[in-house]
Structure 1
């Protein structure tokens, strides 16, 4: 059965300084093992969680997407993380999934963090994104989406796999003052969806002097913590085995009993 090796990069971010952020991530990615297939960066990895899209937004033909394309190709790895994008007169907190061959997919953050005014500066997305790599399906989401379980809920069963994913992935700028919900909800999403859950957060103080403890995590389909790191920069690489996931779903076939639902 297939395996998937993923590298999680928990880093401080230089506030609204794209050049320094892209350089630090270029250095970190260059140091990853050759076996790593997917690299996960935090939310708004090139700027921090900025509410100034008028100043820092780029188009999909801009510097940061070009950097993602070049870096993915040079390192032969998929790279994902979110950035500020301008499109059709709107601004988006957009997660980019960049493949080494230059193929690019994106997901626009659905749930904007009104508590910090994100909804006043950005436009919400309305479509989920599930990508495929090496026999795995990954559902890609951003930060505040974590609080809304219906948006992440599996839409299939092991017998009907349309919409059924294997990994639920969150990139974030989630403050330390709310770290308990972050850690608890990551485990809850893994348990209720019988999927691996990855959460990659930043560390350090942002430009508003808000501290982030990171707590980036890899959770197994039973809710067990495989890895979690607080309060310091970290790079963690782990290989997931598809047979481990399928064993959990076979032994505990809870998804077969799930309630059907639809988002209106």
Structure 2
């Protein structure tokens, strides 16, 4: 399974500009291989809290535009605002050519930037099948919560995809925690970050990352804009868990 992270700029509230940029990126990498393409968190609009409810009205049409440029071998992991009365969920849509394969709503919201005031909290984890691999979905800040990754792995995930908008100044936290989540759950963990969050004041981000079940990096994380590719093999997940049975020991103990 090929995993692709699109590390491109996100412009605050400029949905059409972001849509054009990311559609071009997706179009560049769609081919005949089974592929998962991960986009950054809230890639279509950023966190313009005052307009998220309004922007959420476009979410399904954005999903349809993505469907229009991919093929049957492609899954796009896309974080977008989902309308919930006067608030929204920060939702991940797992998009295939034929529809939405699964959704996930962010459980842990980042209160220092007031995300919890404008966005409703989801509940539970999501794991689904794509081309024989089990895919789990989590978001950004949740990399700080090992319990979420453990629950997702216990639910069967071979690959956990993590869209993010994570500031470059805390990149060592991001890279350390992503690697730790892969090692402790003995599965693939892959994330896509924006290269820069463009708004009233630009916030450098970057350092999208992917790690295998041994915790080995699958491409070099960098600050610059780019498209990064890795490969996942679910047989390696089983091999690692058999050689060092910490995951199975934990599952037996914690239930």
Same topology, TM > 0.5: yes
Instruction: Kindly provide the CA deviation profile for residues 21-75 of structure 1, in whole angstroms up to 9, marking residues without a partner as x.
Output: 1111111111115125221110001012322213422265x421222332335x7
Q: What residue is the counterpart of 1:8 in the other structure?
A: 5
Q: Which structure dedicates a bigger proportion of its chain to helix?
A: 2
**2: distance between equivalents of 1:261 and 1:244?**
24
- Asked whether the 8 Å contact 1:175–1:210 carries over to 2, the reply is no
In structure 1, C-alpha distance between the alignment counterparts of 2:44 and 2:165, rounded to whole Å: 12
Pick aligned residue for 1:91 from 85, 88, 94: 88
Shift of 1:141: 0.6
List runs of 5+ in structure 2 lacking aligned partners: none
1:140 maps onto 2:132 in alignment: no
Residue in 2 that maps onto 1:57? 56
**d(CA) in 2 for partners of 1:195, 1:223:** 9
Shift in Å at residue 81 of structure 1?
1.6
Name 2:17's counterpart in structure 1.
20
SS of equivalent residue, structure 2 residue 116? helix
CA 1:199–1:180: 2 relative to 1, 3 Å: same
Question: 1:256 matched to which residue of 2?
Answer: 248
Using a 3 Å threshold, how does the CA distance of structure 1 residues 134 and 76 change in structure 2: closer, same or farther?
closer
Q: TM-score with structure 2 length normalisation?
A: 0.91
Tell me what 1:72 maps to.
Answer: 70
Report what 2:112 is aligned to.
Answer: 115
* CA offset digits 1:93-112 (Å, max 9, x no partner): 11110111124421111111
| Structure 1 residues 201 and 195: alpha-carbon distance in aligned structure 2, compared to 1, 3 A threshold | same
Matched residue, 1:180:
172
Q: Partners of 1:242 and 1:85 in 2: how far apart?
A: 31
- Aligned residue pair count: 252
Q: Is the 8 A contact 2:110 2:141 kept in 1?
A: yes
Give the alignment partner of residue 200 of structure 1, picking from 177, 192, 196: 192
CA distance in 2, matches of 1:127, 1:256: 21
> Given that residues 10 and 196 in structure 2 are in contact (C-alpha distance below 8 angstroms), is that contact kept between their aligned partners in structure 1?
yes
Contact 2:218 2:231 in 1 (8 A): no
Spell out, residue by residue over 1:105-157, the C-alpha distance to the aligned partner (whole angstroms, 9 max, x if none).
Answer: 2111111110000000000100211011122111101111111111111477x
Q: 1:220 to 1:110 in 2, by over 3 A?
A: same
